[in-house]
Amino acid sequence: MARIKIEKNSSRKEVIVSKAASLFREKGFKAASMRDLAEAVGVEAASLYNHIKSKTELLHELCFGVANRFMQHMDEVESKKTSSIAKVEELVRFHINEMVNHYEEVYVSDREWKHLSDPYLSNFQNQRRMYRKRFAAIIETGIRNKEIKSIDAPTAVLIILHAISGIESWHRSTQKINAEELTNNMITILVGGLKNV
Partner DNA sequence: TTTCTTTGCTAACATATGTTAGTATATTAT
Partner DNA sequence: ATAATATACTAACATATGTTAGCAAAGAAA
Judged by the rule CB under 8 A, the positions of this chain that interact with its own copies are 27-28, 30-31, 111, 114-115, 149, 151-152, 154-156, 158-167, 169-170, 173, 177, 181-182, 185-186, 188-190, 192-194, 197
Cα–Cα distance, 87 to 80 (Å, whole number): 8
Q: Are 73 and 94 in contact (CB under 8 A)?
A: yes
Which CA distances in Å does 194 have to 70, 94, 186? 22, 18, 12
User: What x-and-dash track marks residues 28-67 binding DNA by CB under 7 A?
Assistant: ---xxxxx-------xxxxx-xxx--xxx-----------
Residue whose CB is less far from its own copies, 86 or 159? 159
From DNA, its own copies, none, interface partner of 158 (C-beta below 5 to 8 A by class): its own copies
From DNA, its own copies, none, interface partner of 111 (C-beta below 5 to 8 A by class): its own copies
How many alpha carbons fall within 13 Å on the CB side of residue 159? 15
Cα–Cα distance, 156 to 52 (Å, whole number): 39
Distance in Å, CB of 41 to its own copies, minimum: 22
From DNA, its own copies, none, interface partner of 45 (C-beta below 5 to 8 A by class): DNA
Cα–Cα distance, 83 to 176 (Å, whole number): 33
